[in-house]
Structure 1
Amino acid sequence: MASGSSAAARRLLLLRHRRRHLVPNHHFSSSSADEVLDGGRVKIFDRDLKRRHRDRAAWAMRETDPLVDAVADNLLDRLEDCRKAFPSALCLGGSAGAVRRSLRGRGGIEKLTMMDMSVDMVNKWRELESATDDGPEMNFIVGDEEYLPMKENSQDLIMSCLGLHWTNDLPGAMIQCRLALKPDGLFLAAILGGETLK
């Protein structure tokens, strides 16, 4: 009987060793329940970590990215279907640089505000924008899409190109966008979904 239990103990030890070797512990979240729940809502993405990733990526980005440029161009094609002009526009994070390049006078935009949660990303956009003198008046804001720092009824157009899929509360972020839009404003977004990359 003793040899059977020692054999079982060896198998268990071997399985634990294999599991540790195949699946390292650092791949799993060690967050406490309080860190995962934010005011009763599930916190899927670590926004601070995402901000740090964007800070690092800001200075390593390529000037253009064919996929991002195609998504931005496709998104802004929707402006050509509208008869209305959009004098004030807000571009939320993600690929705001690609949106700026794809605007090319579309939508009658006179004032474009570019917002991102990353200070370095905003500084990079500001640096790139200072090299050009064409296009609408530009403003830059460091802010979080989940806590939109805009006045109610202040924007004619809000755009997000591949940026909102990192939010923990997408419906809440969209509600805030709706509040920031003027009554006849337009919201345009391209978001990666569950089936997008299959």
Structure 2
Amino acid sequence: MSQEVFDRALYRRRLGAAVGAGYPDFLLARCVEDLDERLSAVLRRFACAADLGTPLPLALPVLAMRADAVLRLAEAGAQGDDRAGDLEALPFAEGSLDLAASLLALHAVNDLPGALVQIRRALRPDGLFIACLLGGQSLTELRQSLLAAEVEVTGGASPRVAPFADLRDLGGLLQRAGFALPVIDSEAVTVRYGDMFALLRDLRAMGWANALHQRSRKPLRRAVLMRAAQIYAERFADADGRLRASFEIVWLSGWVPHESQQKPLRPGSAKMRLADALGVVEAGAGTAEGEKR
């Protein structure tokens, strides 16, 4: 049983309100462009694709160019042919999809390993899963500023910014879920703001306000907020006075195993030494020199 990190009911209510009020798409639009570019390297057409939980239907045209049929699971703000559902309880039959994509949604599930297993089961052999989610370095400036301010003003602190998955862990999670040929990479996106409160407004507008189970139920004191804004400006301002907000976008992809896919060579099956292939003299351990940068 996974630990309940997020109050999922609260998160989905807030997401629904955000979608209804005009969810700002500046991060999501960037991710859709990246999805288009990444899928352009896959030289095949899919029979059935699904968008899993992307807050807005922006990815549907990208998927429609590469699949005969496209479905959308909407955790909030479902419209038309969307399927209302939950990323922790997918409503897709086993082996019913050929391509599954998810943008900026999976970082808010309590059981990410379980969600990946469900996605793997919903895909047919040689099906592709591709997704992006917020990584561990996201909003580090806000997290540090709020923590420092609350400790200084009140003498203690409660969690204010969600924990995000570490890049190093996600490859292992894909393999544990049964995906082959896993690929993980990340991109640091910096968005600049006039002050900390403008960042907080954007986070609320995306439904990303604090929905942690362990959050304090008391409103954050004004003194803490004002001190956090000061700390943020002192530590994370550029030369022009604008403040940096970091978003680590982690991309992960994997294929459902199929006999047509490349297989790694068995250990010891090589026919030539690496040194011979490179035309160099093999050196013993401890002879290499390097320089840290």
Q: TM-score, normalised by structure 1?
A: 0.65
Aligned-pair CA distance for 1:54: 1.6
Aligned counterparts of 2:113 and 2:92: Cα–Cα separation in 1: 17
Kindly provide the amino acid, as one letter, of the partner of residue 4 in structure 2: K
- Picking from 62, 66, 72, the partner of 1:114 is 72
Aligned-pair CA distance for 1:51: 1.3
Aligned counterparts of 1:95 and 1:56: Cα–Cα separation in 2: 11
Residue in 2 aligned with 1:13? none
Aligned counterparts of 2:131 and 2:123: Cα–Cα separation in 1: 14
Aligned-pair CA distance for 1:104: 7.5
What CA RMSD, in Å, does the superposition of the two structures yield over aligned residues? Answer: 1.7
**Structure 2: unaligned runs, 5 residues or longer:** 140-245, 247-293
Moved more, 73-82 or 161-170: 73-82
What aligned pairs does 1:166-181 form with structure 2 within 5 A after superposition? 166-181=108-123
Aligned counterparts of 1:92 and 1:161: Cα–Cα separation in 2: 8
Residue in 2 aligned with 1:186? 128
| 1:107-140: CA deviation from partner (whole Å, max 9, x where unpaired) | 2x1211111222xx112xx3xxxxxxxxxxxx31
What aligned pairs does 1:80-159 form with structure 2 within 5 A after superposition? 80-101=40-61, 103=62, 106-107=65-66, 109-118=67-76, 121-123=77-79, 126=80, 139-159=81-101
Kindly provide the amino acid, as one letter, of the partner of residue 75 in structure 1: L
Aligned with 1:100: secondary structure?
A: helix
Aligned with 1:156: secondary structure?
A: strand
Q: Kindly tell me the number of residue pairs found equivalent between the two proteins.
A: 140
Aligned with 1:122: secondary structure?
A: coil
Aligned-pair CA distance for 1:170: 0.5
Structure 2 contact 64–70 (Cα < 8 Å) conserved: no
Larger proportion of helix: 1
Aligned counterparts of 1:105 and 1:93: Cα–Cα separation in 2: 16
**Structure 1: unaligned runs, 5 residues or longer:** 1-39, 127-138
Q: TM-score, normalised by structure 2?
A: 0.45
- Picking from 137, 154, 179, the partner of 1:195 is 137
Would the alpha carbon gap of residues 41 and 148 (structure 1) be closer, same or farther in structure 2, given more than 3 Å must change? same
Matched residues, percent identical?
36
Residue in 1 aligned with 2:32? 72
Aligned counterparts of 2:120 and 2:90: Cα–Cα separation in 1: 11
Aligned-pair CA distance for 1:96: 4.2
